[in-house]
Structure 1
Amino acid sequence: MKKVYSANNLMEAQIVLDLLEHAYIPAQLFNQHAQSGMGEIPFTHAYPEVWVMRDEDYERGKRVIETYENTPVAIGNVQCPSCGEENPANFQLCWKCGSGLEIVLHRTNMPE
Structure 2
Amino acid sequence: MMERKKAVFVLIMVAILLFGCSSKQPPRTTLTLNIEAGYDINTTSPGQAAPLQTRLYELGSKTLFEQADFLDLYLKDASTLQDSLNRDRVEPRGSTPPTTPSVRVRTGRFG
TM-score using structure 1 length: 0.24
TM-score using structure 2 length: 0.24
Larger Rg: 2
Question: Higher relative contact order by CA 8 Å / sep ≥ 6: 1 or 2?
Answer: 2
